[in-house]
A and B are shown apart, each in its own frame.
Chain A
C-alpha cells in the first residue's frame, strides 16, 4: 500500500512538473510573440500585416497585451469616428437616460420614426442585457468594474446609429472589446465592426440577406462535410438553428472566452468568411457524434457546446476546412447567391448551376 501510494505521489509530481514546464514554454512563447508584435510588426503595420510570417504568428493567437491594438488596426476606422464623436454620442445618451428617468417630453426627440416608447424599450433592454452578459465573469453586472463602460458604449451606439439601435447580441461584442480596449477605442472598433456587411445584415435582421449567408455557408458545408451535410438535410436541421447565435455574438457566447478571442483574431485578419469556416471547423470536430444524433440532440448540442473545448483541437479542425468551392472563394459564392436572390425577387428566372 505504501509503495503504491508513493508511486502515485511520484506520478502526480511528474504530471505537475510537466504541466509547469508546459506553462513556462507557453509563457515564453507568448513573451517572445509580444516582443515581435511590439517591436517589429506594429511599427511597420502597413507593410507587414499581410506578410506570410505575420499571418502565421497571427493564426497562433495574438498575445492578450497587444490584442486590442491589433484588432483596432485590423478592423480599421472606415467610419472616421473620433474620440470627440464618442464623447458627443455618450453625452446625448446620458441626456436621454436622464430625460427618461425624469419622464421627459417627447418634443426633444428629433430623429423621425423612432417613438419615445421604442427608445425607452431599447434602454430597458440594454439594462436587462448587461446583467446577462458574461454573468460568470461578474464584471459587467451592476456594481461590477465594467458595468458603466458597457452601458456607455451600447448607449452611445444607439445615439450614433438610431436606425440600427440596440439589438441583442451586441452586448457580448461590446463586452469582448471592452476586455481588450479603452472605452473610446472600444466604441470605434464596435461601430466599425458592426458596420461590416455580414454584421449589418444580421443586426438589422435583414432576413433575406441572412438566408443568403446561410445558403453560402451550406455550399461550403456540403463541399467540406458531405456526409454530415446529408445527415443534417435528412433531419431538417437548418443552419439558422445554430448559426444565429454564433454569428450574432461572434462566438463569444457559445465558446470559452479565450477560444472566442482567438476566433476574433483570425476573423479580424480574414473577414466574415472565417466566421463560417469556424462553424464548419466545429461541425467537423464533432462530425462522428453528430452523425449519430437526431434533430433535437444535434440542435441541443450545437446551441450548448461543451464548455471545455480545447483551442488547439478547434483550430486544427478549422485549418482543415477549405473555403473553396469549384474554385470560388467565400466572397464569390456569396455574391453569386446574392445576385440569384435579387433576380428571383425581380421575377426573372436565373440560371443556376
Chain B
C-alpha cells in the first residue's frame, strides 16, 4: 500500500473517529495523515477533518476522516456526523478504564446513526504506557469479537499500529465494496453514496465512487 497524489483517487471512504474526550483521537489522525504527534494538542470542539489517499491493490482510496469531539454533551450534534460513514474507529484509552467502560454506549450511538454495515474497529490507544494499563488486551479483544468489531492496540505517540489500524479498516471497507460491485454489476446498479461524502469532482479528476455499504 502506498501513497498517491492527493487528488487522484477512485474511491472516497468516509471514516469517523469517535470515543471519550482525551483518548487521543486527534493525535491518531495527525499521526496517520501527517505523521505528527503533539503532546499539547488542543481540545476538539465540534469536528475536524483530514484526508489521506492510499493504494489498495490498483485502486486509490481517499480516506476522508471526521475527527469528532468526545464530550458527552456534544453528542447530540456530533452523532449527525456519523451519517454516510462507511468506517469508524472507536477509540478508548487503555490507561483509563472509564473510557473503555462506555464503549458499548458509543457503539449504540454509532449504530443508531450510521449504516448497519459500517466497518468498526475498536482501538485501545496509548499502548506506549504499558505500566499504566487499566484495560487488559484480552478483555477488549473479547468484547470486540463478541460484537463483530475489528480490534487493535495503538500508540499515536510511538506510531505503533496506527497505519495498520487505518489500513485494516480501509481494506475491510474496500473488500465489502468490491463484493457489492461484483454483485451489482449484473444488475448494473452501483449505489452512489450521499452527496456529503461523494462530492463533485473538478475537471481532470477521476470520477470517484462514494459507495454506501
Contacts of B77 in A (CB 8 A): 205, 207, 210, 240, 244
Q: Is A171 an interface residue (CB 8 A)?
A: yes
Instruction: Report which of A234, A240, A294 forms a contact with B46, defined as CB distance below 8 A.
Output: A240
Q: Is B199 an interface residue (CB 8 A)?
A: yes
Contacts of B76 in A (CB 8 A): 205, 207
With A167-B73, A168-B71, A235-B199 known as contacts, the answer to whether A253 contacts B47 (CB < 8 A) is no
Tell me what chain A mostly uses at the interface: helix, strand, loop, or mixed: helix
Do B73 and A295 have beta carbons less than 8 Å apart? no
Tell me what chain B mostly uses at the interface: helix, strand, loop, or mixed: loop
Do A125 and B47 have beta carbons less than 8 Å apart? no
Do A133 and B42 have beta carbons less than 8 Å apart? yes
Q: Is A241 an interface residue (CB 8 A)?
A: yes
Do A168 and B74 have beta carbons less than 8 Å apart? yes
A240 to B74 CA separation, bound complex (whole angstroms): 12
Spot the interface stretch: A102-110, A299-307, A338-346.
Answer: A299-307
Do B40 and A205 have beta carbons less than 8 Å apart? no
Do B202 and A294 have beta carbons less than 8 Å apart? yes
Interface string of A167-181 (1 = CB under 8 A from B): 111011000000000
With A248-B45, A294-B199 known as contacts, the answer to whether A135 contacts B21 (CB < 8 A) is no
Number of A-B contacts (CB under 8 A): 89
CB distance from B204 to the nearest CB of A (A): 13
Interface string of A151-178 (1 = CB under 8 A from B): 0000000000000000111011000000
Contacts of A248 in B (CB 8 A): 45-46
A207 to B71 CA separation, bound complex (whole angstroms): 15
Q: Is B196 an interface residue (CB 8 A)?
A: yes
Contacts of B74 in A (CB 8 A): 168, 205
Interface string of A121-153 (1 = CB under 8 A from B): 100010011011111100001000000000000
**Chain A residue at minimum C-beta to C-beta distance from B62:** A296
Q: Is B154 an interface residue (CB 8 A)?
A: no
Q: Is B5 an interface residue (CB 8 A)?
A: no
Do A171 and B48 have beta carbons less than 8 Å apart? no
Q: Is A218 an interface residue (CB 8 A)?
A: no
Do A296 and B71 have beta carbons less than 8 Å apart? no
Contacts of B95 in A (CB 8 A): none
Nearest first, the 7 A-B pairs at minimum CB distance are: A135-B40, A244-B46, A294-B199, A295-B199, A132-B43, A236-B196, A300-B49
